[in-house]
Amino acid sequence: MEGSSSINNGWRICILASFIGGIILIFCLNHSRDDISLSTVQSLAATAAPSNTNEFNTSAHSPATAAPSNSNEFNTSAHSPAPAAPSNTNEFNTSVHLAAPVAPSDIKELSTSTHDDYVKKKPVEIKKEECNIFDGEWIYNPKESPLYNGHQCPFLSDQVSCQRNGQPDIDYQKWSWEGKGLCQIPRFNATDMLKRLKGKRVIIVGDSLNRNQWESLACLLYSAISPSRAHVDIRSGTYKVFKALDYHCSVEFYWSPFLVQLETNQKNGRRNNILKLDEISTSAKKWKGADIMVFNTGHWWVHRGKIKAWDLFQRDGKLVENMELELAFGIAMNTWAHWINKHVDKTITRVFFRNMSPEHKGTQWCYNRTQPMKDEYLITTFPKSIIGIVEKTIGGMRTPVKYLNITKLSQYRIDAHPAIYARKQKQVLIAKQQRQPESYADCSHWCLPGVPDTWNRLLYASMVDKS
C-alpha cells in the first residue's frame, strides 16, 4: 500500500510538473509571438524611400524626418513639427497633415499634398532692366548744371558764346538729362576722362554740329586743368586741337561735312563742286591711329538752293547731275563704312557715330523760347530716311560702331539755341535782329555751356560702359 501510494504521488508530481511546464511553454510561445509582431510592425512602419526616385509623394500620419540635401523644390503638408530645412533647397513650403519620410540625397522634386497631386514651382526669372541712356527726361538742376563756366574757356567761338554775346537768359544752362527708372547716367567727370585718355587721341569728324561738340569737350577738359598745362589751336577752320600736356592726350576736330570728298573743279570757265561719293575725305589719312573716333554727317546733305554744297555727283569716275538723295547718301555712307572696316583696328579703337542734331524751325521756331518742350510727341524735322540709312549702315558693319542717339533728347531743347546771340553784337544790331529775328536766328547750333555737354556726358558714359 505504501509502495502504491508512493507511485501515485510520483505520477501526481509528474502531472503537476508537466502542467506547469506546459503553462511555461505556452507563456514563452506567446511572448515570442508578441516580440515578432512588435518587431514586424516596427520594421514596416520605418519604410525607407527608394534610392533613385525622382519624385516622391506621401500622405500619412507618420513622424517628420529629415529633408533631402539636394532638393530643388520642397513642398510638404503637415500639422506635425516641421523638419529641418535642407541645405540646398530653393523653395520650402509646409501645409497639411504630414511630414515626409527620409528621402534620398539625389531627389530632384519632392511634393506632398492632401490630394496627392504634384506641385511644381519654377523660379521666377527676373530680367535685369537695360539702361538706355538716350531715353530719359530733362530735369531742372541748377545745383549741378552747368558743368563749367563759359568764361573759363576763352577759345570758344562767338557762334556758341551766347552769354558773351548778350543772351540775357541763363536757365537753358541749368537742365540735366537723366535716365528713366533705375537707369543712372554717370555725371561727366573731367579728371577721370583725362585719365582714361592718357596717351590717346580722340578725333571728332564731321560738320559744324560736330565742331560744336568738339568745343564742348575741349572746354569740359580744359576747365579741369591748369590753363598753362593745355594747348589749344583753333586757327584753322578745318582742323582744331586741344591737348592736355600732363596726360599726353589730344582731342582733334576735322571738318568733313559729307565724310566723302568734296572737290572744286574749274573747267571751261565753269566752276563746279563735285561730291565724290566713292572717295573718302582727304583728311582720312590723318584719322588713322586714333583711339576714339566720333563721326557725324547728314545736315549738309539736305541743304537746298543757295546753300547746297555740290553741283555734281561723281561715282565710278562718272559725273552725274541728278541722283536721288537717299541713293547718293547711302553710297557715301558705304564708302565711309568700308574705310572704317579696312583701316580701324577694333581691338584698339572705339568708333562712335552721333546721329542728327535737330533744328527748331517752322512751327518749332527757337526764337525767344526759354523752356524745354515737354511734349512726348515731337515733330522730327530731319528726314527719317536719312536716319534710317545711317542705322542700317552701322548695323551691317564688321567693325563695331556705338550709336550716339541724341536726336530725341536734343529735340526737347528748343530753348538752348543761340537764336540771335550767335555773334558779338552792338545795341543797334541787337535792336535790328529783334525786329527781324527770322533773318538772323540760329536754330541749328547750340549755346555753350549747353546741350552738346550732354552729348559728351553720354559719350563718357559709353566709354565707362565697355559693353
Sign of CA dihedral 302, 307, 309, 313: positive
| Per-residue confidence (pLDDT) for residue 20, from 0 to 100 | 65
Paired strand residues for 351: 293, 401
Residue whose C-alpha cell is 567693325: 399
Q: State how far the Cα of 294 lies from the Cα of 292, in Å rounded to an integer.
A: 7
Minimal CA–CA distance to 63: which of 78, 53, 43?
78
Mean pLDDT of 385-395: 96
Contact 335, 258 (CB under 8 A): no
Of the chain, the percentage scoring pLDDT greater than 90 comes to: 59
Phi, psi of 286 (to 5 degrees): -90, -10
Contact 350, 292 (CB under 8 A): yes
Torsion of CA 203, 206, 211, 217, to 10 degrees: -40
Per-residue cell: 441: 536766328
Buried b (16+ CB within 10 A) or exposed e, 287-322: beebebbbbbbbbbbeeeeeeeebebbbbeeeeeee
Mean pLDDT of 455-461: 98
Contact 219, 448 (CB under 8 A): yes
Mean pLDDT of 273-286: 97
Contact 309, 261 (CB under 8 A): no
Lowest mean pLDDT among 12-26, 263-277, 288-302: 12-26
pLDDT digits 0-9 by tens, 112-162: 344 444 334 444 444 455 789 999 999 999 999 999 999 999 999 999 999
Lowest mean pLDDT among 103-112, 117-126, 303-312: 103-112
| Per-residue confidence (pLDDT) for residue 178, from 0 to 100 | 96
Q: Which residues contact 276 (CB under 8 A, 6 or more apart)?
A: 260, 261, 262, 263, 314, 315
Q: State how far the Cα of 179 lies from the Cα of 135, in Å rounded to an integer.
A: 6
Q: State how far the Cα of 261 lies from the Cα of 271, in Å rounded to an integer.
A: 16
Q: What is the pTM of this model?
A: 0.72
SS (HEC) of the chain: CHHHHHHHHHHHHHHHHHHHHHHHHHHHHHHHHHHHHHHHHHHHHCCCCCCCCCEECCCCCCCCCCCCCCCCEEEEECCCCCCCCCCCCCEEEECCCECCCCCCCCCCEEECCCCCCCCCCCCCCCCCCCCCCCCEEEEECCCCCCCCCHHHCCCCCHHHCCCCCCCCCCHHHCEEEEECCCCCCCCCCHHHHHHHCCCCEEEEEECHHHHHHHHHHHHHHHCCCCHHHEEEECCCCCEEEEEEHHHCEEEEEEECCCCEEEEEEEECCEEEEEEEEEEECCCHHHHCCCCEEEECCCHHHHCCHHHCCCCEEEECCEEECCCCHHHHHHHHHHHHHHHHHHHCCCCCCEEEEECCCCCCCHHHCCCCCCCCCCCCCCCCCCCHHHHHHHHHHHHCCCCCEEEECCHHHHHCCCCCCCECCCCCCCHHHHHHHHHCHHHCCECCCCCCCCHHHHHHHHHHHHHHCCC
Buried b (16+ CB within 10 A) or exposed e, 87-119: eebeeeebeeebbbbebeeebebbbbbeeeeee
What is each CA distance from 237 to 4, 140, 345, 361, 448, in whole angstroms? 155, 35, 29, 26, 19
Contact 110, 49 (CB under 8 A): no
Query: Given a cut of 70, is residue 336 above it in pLDDT?
Result: yes
pLDDT digits 0-9 by tens, 14-49: 455 566 655 555 554 454 444 444 444 344 444 444
Residue whose C-alpha cell is 504634384: 118
Overall residue count recorded for the chain in this entry: 467
Angle ∠(136,137,142) on CA atoms, nearest 5: 130
| Per-residue confidence (pLDDT) for residue 8, from 0 to 100 | 52
Long-range CB contacts (< 8 A, 24+ apart) of 224-233?
224/190, 224/191, 224/194, 225/194, 232/155
Lowest mean pLDDT among 9-13, 53-57, 165-169: 53-57
Q: Give CA 58 to chain center in angstroms.
A: 49
Lowest mean pLDDT among 84-88, 165-169, 274-278, 407-411: 84-88
Active-site annotation, residues: 208, 442, 445
Mean pLDDT taken over the chain: 79
